[in-house]
Amino acid sequence: MNLEYFIAKRIIGSKHYKSSISGPIIKIAISAIALGLIMMMVAIAVGVGLQQKIRDKVAAFNGHIQIVNFDNNNSQSSGKPISTNQEFYPEFKTVDGIKHIQAVATKAGVIRTENTFEGIVLKGVGADYQWQNFDEFIVEGRTPKVDEEKENKEVILSAYMANRLQLSVGDSFGSFFLRNNSDIPNKRNFTIVGLYDSGFKEFDEKYVFADIRHIQRMNRWKPDEVGSFEVFIDDFSELQEKGNEVYGSVLSTLNTTTIADQFFTIFEWLAIFDFNILIIMVIMIFVAGINMITALLVLILERTPMIGIFKAMGMQNRSIRQIFLYNAGYLIVLGLLWGNVIGVGLLYIQKKFGFIKLDPVNYYVTEAPVYIDVRYIIALNLGVLLLCVLMLLLPSQIITKISPVKAIRFD
C-alpha cells in the first residue's frame, strides 16, 4: 500500500481531525469548493441554455441561412421572386450538414378591425414548412393547414397581436396589402386557427403565418415562384462555414445571409455571455483555491510536531508533502461531491418547474433556460480538482522549511 496515502487516510479518519481547531476552517474550505462549483455549474447551464434558446427562436422564424435574390430590397416584403426549380431544392445535397430547406415569402400589410388596426408581415409558407420548430410556441389552437390542394384562409398569429386586436381563435378579420403598380390595395379575409407566443416581441408583434399561395396570387407570381429559401443546419457552431458553402453552391444571381449577420446585435450580446461565464469561473476557482490554501496551512501548522517526527525518522519532504496533498485532495473531492449534488439538483428543479422567471423584454425568454450535459459537468469537476491541487503545490513547500528539532518541540 502507498505509505503516504495510508497515513493521510488515517489522519482523515481520526476523531481528533474532525474535532480539532482546524475543523471550522476545513468546513469553510469544503463549503467554498461546493459553492464555487454550484456557481460555475449554474453560470454555464443558464448561460449556454439562454444562448441556445434564443438562437433556436431566431432560427424558428428565419432559418439559419436565408437565400434571396441579389437585387432584393431589405424591406419586410419579398421583392423579385425566385424559382423553386433549383438544384438545392427541395433537398440541399451539395453541402453536408444541411438539415432542411423550405420556401417562404413575406408581404407587409395591415389588419383592420372595427375598433383598431395593426401593421403585420404576412409570412407565406408551404407544405415543406417545418412546424415542429413552432410546437413549443403554440399556446392555443393549431397551425394552419397549408398542405391541401386548395389554399385556405387559416392563419396563426401571436397572442400579443391577438390581444391588441381583441381577437381570439375562431375569429375572422380583414387585411389589406399593397398591390403592385396600383393604389387599390388587395383585401384578404383570414380566420385565426391558432395563437403562438415566442417571447420574442420583435417577431410576435408582426408575423402572421398563412398559405404562401395568398402572396403568390397577390404578387401575380407563378406557382413555382417564392420570395426566399430558409436553410436549417445540424450544428450551429458551423454557421459561418456552412453559410459560405451554401453561398458557393447557389447561382450567382442569388445571395445568402446567416442569422448571425442579419441579427448582429442579438448575437453580439449572446457572445458576451461566454466572457461573463469565464469571469465567474475564474473568480470562483480563485476563491475556492484561497480557502484550500488556508486550510492546508492550518493543517500543516496543527501537525507540525508530526512533521518533525516524520523528518527525524528519515521521511523525505516530498513524501510528507504528498500526505498533506492527499489530505487536501480529499477535502476538494468532498466539496465537489456536495457541489454536484446541490448544483445538479437545483438545475433539474429549474428545468422541470422553471421557478426562476425572466423578463422577456430583456432576455427574450420567460424563464431561465437550463442546459445540462454530463460532459461539461465532468470536465468542470476535473478542472476544479486539477487547478486547486496545482494551487496547493506552492504553499506545501513550507514543509521543507520546517526543522525536525524545532518541530518536535513545537507547541
Angle 41-50-244 (CA atoms, 0-180°, nearest 5)?
Answer: 115
pLDDT at 359: 81
Q: Rounded CA gap, 304 and 298, in Å? A: 10
Nearest to 381 by CA among 343, 326, 324: 343
Output the pLDDT for position 22: 65
pLDDT in tens, the chain (411 residues): 577 777 777 777 665 555 556 678 788 888 889 999 999 999 999 999 999 999 999 999 999 999 998 766 566 677 788 999 999 998 898 899 999 999 999 999 999 888 888 999 999 999 999 998 888 899 999 999 887 777 789 999 999 999 999 999 999 999 998 877 666 788 889 999 999 998 888 899 999 999 999 999 988 899 899 999 999 999 998 999 999 999 999 888 899 999 999 999 989 988 888 888 889 889 988 888 888 888 888 887 777 777 777 777 778 878 888 888 888 888 899 999 999 999 999 999 998 888 888 887 778 888 888 998 999 999 999 999 998 888 888 888 887 777 766 656 655
At residue 397, the 3 state secondary structure works out as helix
Chain centroid to CA 202: 19
Among 92, 132, 126, CA closest to 243: 92
pLDDT number for residue 58: 92
